[in-house]
Each structure stands twice: as structure tokens, then as C-alpha cells.
Amino acid sequence: MLDVSRAGNALVAVGERGFILRSEDDGQSWNQVDTPVSVTLTRVVFPTPDQGWAVGHAGVVLHSSDGGRSWKLQLDGRQAAQTVLEAAEKRFEQEPNALNEKRVSSARSLLEDGPDKPFLGVHFIDATHGIVVGAYGLAFSTNDGGNTWYSIEERLDNPAAMHLYGIQQIDDKLFIFGEQGLLLRSNDRGTTFETLTSPATGTLFGLVPTSQHGLLAFGLRGKSYFSNDAGDSWQPVANPSPITITAGTLLSDGRTLLVDESGRLLTSKEPQHGFTALTLEEPSYLTGLIEVGTGKLVLSSARGVTRVNLDELNRSTTREQ
């Protein structure tokens, strides 16, 4: 499984072949849910207990209005490509310049390629306003709960069409992160985005809040970076293990927790100063996590979904400086 999210009192996990699992006992048992697709689903979010969205390969966006018990297809790759082309042609009509002509050409190629581009990230501010992002700079927004989607690629400074791996809200700001360290920030709920000076040259796979209103960006080869000014400046965080960090969260006790490809969990009250590494009894490629009680987690991984207690894990090191 690739991601897990809370839907009210339930948990919902998504993964390969369109699998969606649902738990009503904080991950102790799971039931498979019927879905209208068989492609890999990469992310799932529930801004309210009932309203949820999942995105994945072939440009699919799924919607649930009953807490993840059932799902309907809202958008697919062909519809997405057609939307991008129509938006590009409209921009070229309004401003017939070389850049917009290139956008039209790229949009036509996207449509001709077919629905082979995945969505990799999704965030909903509330039950009506959401953004999805994905490979080759794909980015769409909705203002009506996903009934209609609009291309917003022109809002993003991404001329090389780099992959966008996710979107995260921290406090009142939205951050988009991606390939080659791309970092974008919105201060107005996604209406506009500004490019941040990135500390990274490699791909960023996530952003998480820390205690005291800090930010932690993480990604390829175990790199992570700390900011205490909403992303205006960054400092590298030491991590001697060059293993890609895949997901993270802020725990209820104030600790920041990251997980990586090797199955390690990295935890810290002050992540700018380093992490304590924890190991699972049976390590697996970890992809997502959610806290289900103080010190208790549900992890999504190559093995499926697992419930663990942090206090029972092995500490492989006391501090990574």
C-alpha cells in the first residue's frame, strides 16, 4: 500500500491495482472496498469525515462521499489532457507568444500520449477546494468538490515540466514540492504560487511541520532540510544514511517522525539537530503513516498496512548528528 489517511473514525489506505482498504478499529483489521479502477493509487485525503479523494496512475481522481465505503471516478487521464490542451489554446489566443505556443504543443503531445501520466499528490483545503499534482508538471484545481477540474499549470513556475510529487498545507500556506528540489509556496489558498530558493538539488518527496512552527523538507538519498521562516531559508539536517525518505508526520507529543525506503523510522523533538533511528522487527519499504493514538502508528508499506507501537521498536542509534 502507498498511503493511509483518516476518515473520521475510520482509516483508508490505497495502493497498487486500485486497492482500497478501510479499517474501523484503528488498523487492527481491514476490509477491501470496491473501486472503479485497477490502476495504482498513490495518495488519499479526507478533509472531512465523509468527503475524500484518491489519486493515481492514468490520471485518475476518485471521490468518496461516505467516508471511503464507496468510490466514483471524477477525472481520468484523457479528460485531464483535454483540459490542459483547452487551457493552453485559450492562453495562446489571448497571448500569442513563443512560450504559450510551446505550451500548446506540449499539451497536444500529452493528449496524443494517452492517459499514462500519474497524479502523485492531492490536497483539499475543505470539501470543495482542492488541488492535484503529478508527473510532468500536471496540476489541476477544483472549486466545487471535483465536479469540474481546471488546469493551473500556468500558476506554477515550472517551465521544464518537472514532476510534482506532492502538495502539503502547513498552517495557512500551501507548498508544492518535486523533482530537482522544486519548491513552490502559496499564501492565498492556491490562487498564486511563488518559487522558493530550494536547499535541495535532488527530488523532494515531502514536507512536514515541526514543533515551534518549523518546517522539514525531505527526499532523495536521505536528505532533509529545516526552516523556521516558512521556507524562506533552510539549513541541512545531518543524516549519515543515504536512504530516501518517503513520508513524515508531526506526532501529538511534538515529535517529528519520518520513514524511509529501508523500513527505518526517524524521530526527533528538534529535527534541526538530528534524529533517533528506530527499526521494525520486519523492515519493509515504508510509504506512508498516520498516528492512531499516543505512540501508536499505522504504516503503509510494500507489505501492506501495519500497526506498530513506537515504544516497542528497536533503537539502532541514540542520535544521528
Task: Give alpha helix (H) positions in 53-119.
Answer: 77-94, 98-113
CA proximity to 274, closest of 247, 238, 304, 303: 238
Instruction: Give the CATH architecture of domain 197-321.
Output: 7 Propeller (2.130)
Query: According to the model, what pLDDT value does residue 74 have?
Result: 98
CA distance 64 to 311: 35
Q: pLDDT truncated to tens, each residue of the chain (321 aa)?
A: 999 999 999 999 999 999 999 999 999 999 999 999 999 999 999 999 999 999 999 999 999 999 999 999 999 999 999 998 988 888 888 999 988 888 888 888 888 887 889 999 999 999 999 999 999 999 999 999 999 999 999 999 999 999 999 999 999 999 999 999 999 999 999 999 999 999 999 999 999 999 878 999 999 999 999 999 999 999 999 887 899 999 999 999 999 999 999 999 999 999 999 899 999 988 999 999 999 998 899 999 999 999 999 988 876 543 433
Q: Which residues of 289-317 are buried (b: 16+ CB within 10 A; e: fewer)?
A: bbbbeebbbbbbbeeebbbbebeebeeeb
Task: Give alpha helix (H) positions in the chain.
Answer: 77-94, 98-113
CB within 8 A of 72, min separation 6: which ones?
Answer: 36, 62, 63, 64
173 half-sphere exposure, CB direction, 13 A CA radius? 21
All 3 cell numbers of residue 225?
532540510
CA proximity to 128, closest of 41, 49, 43, 51: 51
With contact defined as beta carbons under 8 Å apart, do 146 and 158 qualify? no
Strand order in the sheet with 41-45: 41-45, 52-56, 60-64, 72-75
